[in-house]
Amino acid sequence: FLIDIVDEFKGVLESKQNDIRSIQRKEKAGREIEANFCSMTTCFKRDHKQLKKCWNNLKMKAKKSEAMEKKRERKLVVV
């Protein structure tokens, strides 16, 4: 669920800008993600800070998995 919802706001959330307007846009996007997530799911309700942490964890796991895959590919090429 979360990945589909965050995809809509990915440009705003992944922006490196940190001026006041960008921060406000990120906060607004976070609250919209929270509202969409809570309306779609029947499990525990999460606030936007918890969802942000979950999203960051998902990104970190994906990067780690990608790095492991590249490492495996390099081993296959060497052997």
Please tell me the pTM assigned to this model. Answer: 0.73
Q: What's the whole-number average pLDDT of the chain?
A: 89
- The count of other CB atoms within 10 Å of the CB of residue 35 is 12
pLDDT tens per residue across span 32-69? 999 998 888 676 788 889 999 999 999 999 999 999 99
Does residue 79 have a pLDDT over 70? no
Specify the pLDDT at position 40. 81
Angle at 24 between CA 18 and CA 30, to 5 degrees: 105
Q: Compute, in degrees rounded to 10, the torsion defined by CA atoms 19, 22, 27, 32.
A: 180
Could you give the 3-state DSSP secondary structure of residue 74?
helix
Print the domain residue range for 50. 2-78
Domain count, the chain: 1
Q: Which amino acid is at 54?
A: C
Does residue 78 have a pLDDT over 80? no
Decide: 55 and 34 in contact? Cβ < 8 Å.
no
